[in-house]
A and B are shown apart, each in its own frame.
Chain A
Amino acid sequence: MARMPLALLAVLLLLLPVLAQDSRAPRVGPPRPAATPNADAPLETVEADVSTRTLEVTTGFTGHEIIVFGAIDNSQAPEGDANYYDVVVVVEGTPFPIVVRRKSDVGGVWINTSSVTFSSVPSYYAIASTRPIEEIAGPSVLERNAIGFQHIKMTPSASYKGVLKEYEVAAFRDAVIRLKKKQKLYVTEPKDGVVFAGRSLFRAAIPLPANVPVGPLVARTYLFRKGEAVSAHIARVTLHRAGLERVVHNFAFLHPAGYGLFAVLVAVGSGLLASTFFKRRNA
């Protein structure tokens, strides 16, 4: 019996890191860069949120525009200088493994001949910024914060090491970005993507297309000053199936046999129903 408090303490100790993490502001992404311009003034920070925290993909889903809005705290921008700060918003979907295949001419027929598997590629990636991102910061800063299509983290599966040359893998990588752009899943709003309303308030409209893969989205907001990221903030959006769309999808994937039988019954039923309807009408 005397051990009870001890056990409780142990459990609490185990939980401590988890509890601590929960209570902190969600800053899972890139670490907040340290920058100290004026030692005496408080640091400027950015805070942001998304207009819609949860989005439902229903049978009527045709895409949705989410608004990322935020404010700069302790702005040190001199009066009248609108370009003192830059804001970049990156909205990223859940990473998934994907296969990229390349066709080549085999005896007059175009056939998939080589492929590269990337173990994790964001399903969706949108950038909105006050100016084109290349003007805001240098490549090393952008890379460190994973901003920009060329800095999306895509790691090819280890099995390609030595089989494919570096530049060949790079071509596959470029193809992913190109194809995702074509599907409107990788989008960029380089000009006026982020608009300031007043001195410290800003907003960015991110269009989610109808084919956006269902899953959680992460919206990272960066505050830039003179080419350096001085603050960052993370907000989340969950995108989940709802209504009939959810029912059908879950049925198909969780109970495939039941769904298969259901599909057969629907087909037979509708076929017979239609024929009796038209027979009666034509008689």
Chain B
Amino acid sequence: MACALTGASYGSITRAPLSAASHSRKYLLMNIYLPIAEMSVNAALFLGMGWAVGFLSGMFGVGGGFLLTPLLMFMGVPTAVAVGTGSMQILASSVSGAVAQYQRNNVDIKMGAVLVVGGVVGSVIGVSLMKILRQVGQFDLFVALSYVLFLGAVGALMMIESVGTIRKRQTGQASPRKTGQHSWVHGLPFKMRFHRSKLYISALPPAMIGAFVGFMAAIMGVGGGFVMVPAMIYLLRVPTSVVIGTSLFQITFVMAVTTFLQAVQNKSVDVVLALLLIVGGVIGAQFGAAAGAKLKGEQLRFLLAGLVLLVCLRIGWDLMNKPVEIYSIGPVIGGAN
């Protein structure tokens, strides 16, 4: 306990320059001392960051966790706090969407429940693994590698798809639609009838997808919509009308559980930091949604893919390049070593 109490006292090495930079902007808005991150930050700067991420997530219709969590880490927030606080912010930004989708009857509750059950299992595993990785000093590496891997794959696929669609639209070709195909997914046991999705499939694939997304959510501080939505469409063949609502339903519940677990196991949820980001984010999302309405779907996906790939490259660059400082200091967590 003593270790946990003193743990957050040592942050990443970028903390000092940050507080110095924000000091000069003191007249703009007061600095806020974050109780869990244990750093003094400029409130306006973090509100602005929340706004920017909210704008992009409103524009592209994504949660924005994959942008926000790395951004917090670049700002010097300890990785664990960035991930833990990220899940709280995602919960806030997805809950209203989930309620709206539910009211429009766009949620397959049964499918959602299976996804949530899987998600909670994944989250529990993820949060526990995070604790172990922090003790052995490999958590930052694991997070960075996960980001490079997932953002790289999803970004590249989205880029290829959107470029293809834009080309086809230019040449006037209609994209062929495949329907009623059976895949290996339909041969698994524990079949369940999902009325809202008009599916009769095994409960295992959605549970596994949910678990995987829950795991990612805990480790990377993301909602995981960018993995879950394609998986539901292409693997489970859930109708597009219920995909968004059902994935938001899963994200909301899994994020609530993840936030709770992060607070209990890793003490890495900073409510003050999260509130700054939430307030900035909800306002930004309103402007973003208005901006996004002016663009075509494939154009948006193309831009989003570019953004995803940029974040991926930036993190990858930091991993591959010889760091200026090869040493780092941190607290002893849970009596390791």
Contacts and interface: CB of A to CB of B under 8 A. Distances in A.
Interface of A: 57-63, 96-105, 108-112, 115, 117, 123, 157, 159, 171-172, 175-176, 178-180, 182-185, 209-211, 213-215, 241, 244-245, 248-249, 252-253, 256-257, 259-264, 266-268, 270-272, 274-275, 278, 282
Contacts of B332: 97-99, 117
Most buried by B among A213, A214, A257, A268: A268
A97 B11 CA distance: 14
Given A63-B19, A112-B141, A266-B271, A252 B92 contact: no
Interface in B283-337: 286, 319-323, 325-332, 336-337
A134 to B, nearest CB: 25
22 contacts: A59-B35, A62-B26, A96-B10, A99-B330, A101-B327, A103-B328, A109-B145, A109-B319, A115-B137, A117-B332, A182-B13, A185-B16, A210-B31, A245-B33, A249-B35, A253-B5, A266-B92, A266-B271, A268-B95, A270-B278, A270-B279, A272-B96
A252 B8 CA distance: 12
Contacts of A112: 137-138, 141, 328
A112 B329 CA distance: 11
B57 interface: no
B5 A211 contact: no
B331 A252 contact: no
Interface residues of B, number: 71
A264 B256 contact: yes
B40 A61 contact: yes
A175 B329 contact: yes
Contact of A259 (B13, B20, B261, B269): B269
Contact of B320 (A101, A109, A185): A109
Contact of A101 (B4, B6, B322, B330): B330
B307 to A, nearest CB: 23
B263 interface: yes
Q: Which 4 A-B pairs have the closest CB atoms?
A: A275-B96, A260-B263, A175-B327, A210-B40
A117 to B, nearest CB: 5
A75 B19 CA distance: 42
Contacts of B256: 264, 267-268
Contact of B275 (A58, A100, A123, A270): A270
Given A175-B329, A245-B33, A270-B278, A252 B137 contact: no
Nearest to A262: B271
Interface of B: 3-6, 9-11, 13, 15-16, 19-20, 23, 26, 30-33, 35-36, 38-40, 88-89, 91-97, 99-100, 137-138, 141, 145, 255-256, 259-264, 267, 269, 271-272, 274-275, 278-279, 282, 286, 319-323, 325-332, 336-337
Contacts of B38: 211, 213-214
A98 B331 contact: yes
A238 to B, nearest CB: 16
B23 A268 contact: no
Contacts of A249: 35-36
Contacts of B36: 248-249, 252
A209 B15 CA distance: 11
Contact of A100 (B6, B39, B97, B328): B328
Nearest to B261: A260
Nearest to B282: A274
Contact of B19 (A62, A96, A253): A62
A115 B337 contact: yes
A169 B241 CA distance: 61
A211 B6 CA distance: 13
A100 B326 CA distance: 10
Contacts of A62: 19, 23, 26, 31, 33, 40
B33 A61 contact: yes
Contacts of A176: 329
Given A61-B40, A103-B326, A252-B36, A267 B141 contact: no
B137 A101 contact: yes
